[in-house]
Amino acid sequence: MKITKIMKFGGTSVGSPERIKSLVPLITGSESKIVVLSAMSGTTNSLIEITKLLYGGDKKTASDRIEALRAVYHKVVDELYETDEYKKTGREMIDSHFNSMINIASRPFARLQERAIVGEGELISTALLHKLLLEKGFRAKLIPAMNFMRIDKDGEPDYYYIEENLRRELRKHDSKSVLITQGFICRNVKGEIDNLKRGGSDFTASLIGSVLKVEEIQIWTDINGFHNNDPRYVENTEVIRELSFDEAAELAYFGAKILHPSSITPARDNNIPVRLKNTLHPEDEGTLITSSSELIDYKAVAAKDGISVIRIRSYRMLMAYGFLRKVFEIFVAYKTPIDMITTSEVSISITIDNPQYLREIATDLSELGKVETEEDQTIICIVGDFRMKKTGSAPEIFEALNTIPLKMISYGGSDISLSLLTDTSHKKEALRLLSKHLFPH
């Protein structure tokens, strides 16, 4: 069975019975495709809260939350289906999933149960859509993601396993069926239920598309595509119709929420176009991401919050080789990626977006020199074609941010981006100033 398209729908796209119904005309038709679904919006957060209660030993409150969520889904079933038959089987399906959660909640809680509970959202959303298609007379099949999606011991996708087992699943079905699978969830190398972390449904779609060499991967959300600035903070932003993989990766990594950064790599490696579409306005062409795009001075701005900066000052690094290696080895030991880095003769400034081991990292670094840390920082990334800058290094950016205190500047590591660090309290104003100066109307 040859699959030509992957269509991934996020939590807002399946966030209500009306939204789920609106997917039917989008996913049915003659074109062979696999539909990847996230959990209904809000569900994953609720399930995470439930697992936190269970970890804390508050089984009573956790069970109450489970029952409250069950009631929400019973209402969804009543509004989603038209016939008594499907209302009945829908409630039975919901009860099966929530009884499983209640059973887990009654036992001593561990990491394995946490992953099983958090993954229930995707299992339920795909089952709801599957039954809806059947009720409306379409041929539809569920392909359980846990039958083919697996990560290795390092938490990375096992491409060979995914391709072999996905193709085995596809051989069971004909091209006239709408194939539905779950995003986010998978199995680990031990065969246990696991997941691809937050944003993993985008990653699932990209992985499936890459191993099947499809013609296009579509990511459907509630906006028309990448905007040239954050529409939550800036008025009159515009949709970017074309982006290169590298440009999209920079924007996704540095804060553009529409696409998870991990999802770019599989598509780029296999040169498969990715299109971002809006389920509320399906007629809009969205944003197309390919290996190349139009060269523009300034294309977009994105901001990434939750940044911590670590500064190491040591005269021992002056003209000393091997010093940076010792610094980086500490970050490797704690599996903590670095976002930005700047150096002077005797000091280094480094930013990270995962503060889990910030204290331990700072303690280990203190053996190399004096260490200072600062949290509540934001990286602002400007994407464009900086190779075109013949006279000066992006002067419009620094003119725009003349009143914004900048902590770090990273420029020259990429031809397509420039990154700046500032206090999060200055983010909104910085984004507005950049929009005014870089994208005048």
- Amino acid identity of residue 418, one-letter, is L
The confidence score (pLDDT) of residue 389 equals: 53
Could you write out the DSSP letters of every residue in 210-228?
A: HHHT-SEEEEEESSSS-BS
Tell me the residue ranges of DSSP E strands in 113-206: 140-142, 178-182, 185-187, 193-195
The confidence score (pLDDT) of residue 147 equals: 97
> Going by DSSP bridges, is the β-strand pair 178-182/140-142 parallel, antiparallel, or unpaired?
parallel
Verdict on whether the full-model pTM lies above 0.95 = no
Among residues 358, 243, 355, the alpha carbon closest in space to that of 302 is found at: 243
Cβ count within 10 A of residue 265:
16
Angle at 8 between CA 281 and CA 280, to 5 degrees: 15
The confidence score (pLDDT) of residue 116 equals: 87
The confidence score (pLDDT) of residue 415 equals: 84
What the block records as the tokens of 32 is: 């062979």
What is the Cα–Cα distance from 47 to 277, expressed in whole angstroms?
27
Tell me the residue ranges of DSSP E strands in 96-198: 140-142, 178-182, 185-187, 193-195
Cβ 337 vs Cβ 253: under 8 Å:
no
What is the Cα–Cα distance from 44 to 218, expressed in whole angstroms?
22
Could you write out the DSSP letters of every residue in 239-263?
A: B--EEEHHHHHHHHHTT-TTS-GGG
Residue 345, helix vs strand vs coil? coil
pLDDT, tens digit only, all 441 positions of the chain = 789 999 999 999 999 999 999 999 999 988 899 999 999 999 999 999 999 998 888 989 999 999 999 999 999 999 999 999 999 999 999 999 999 999 888 888 776 788 889 999 999 999 999 999 999 999 999 999 999 999 999 889 999 999 999 999 999 887 778 999 999 999 999 999 999 876 789 999 999 999 999 999 999 998 899 999 999 999 999 999 999 999 999 998 887 777 888 889 999 999 999 999 999 999 999 999 999 877 778 999 999 999 999 999 987 776 678 888 999 999 999 999 999 999 888 899 999 999 999 999 999 999 999 999 999 999 999 998 876 555 555 788 999 999 999 999 998 788 889 999 999 999 999 999 999 999 987
DSSP category for residue 99:
H
The confidence score (pLDDT) of residue 154 equals: 87
> Going by DSSP bridges, is the β-strand pair 178-182/185-187 parallel, antiparallel, or unpaired?
unpaired
The confidence score (pLDDT) of residue 390 equals: 52
What is the Cα–Cα distance from 12 to 309, expressed in whole angstroms?
33
Angle at 149 between CA 144 and CA 150, to 5 degrees: 140
The confidence score (pLDDT) of residue 293 equals: 79
Cβ 38 vs Cβ 125: under 8 Å:
yes
The confidence score (pLDDT) of residue 45 equals: 94
Cβ 242 vs Cβ 293: under 8 Å:
yes
> Going by DSSP bridges, is the β-strand pair 370-383/300-313 parallel, antiparallel, or unpaired?
antiparallel
Domain residue ranges in the chain: 5-290, 300-438
- The domain made up of 300-438 is a member of CATH 3.30.470.20: no
Question: Which option is the CATH number for 5-290: 3.40.50.1370, 3.40.1160.10, 3.40.50.2300, 3.30.300.30?
Answer: 3.40.1160.10
The confidence score (pLDDT) of residue 392 equals: 53
Q: Which residues of 12-51 are buried (b: 16+ CB within 10 A; e: fewer)?
A: bbbbebebbeebeebbbeeebbbbbbbbbbebbebbeebb
What is the Cα–Cα distance from 205 to 217, expressed in whole angstroms?
7
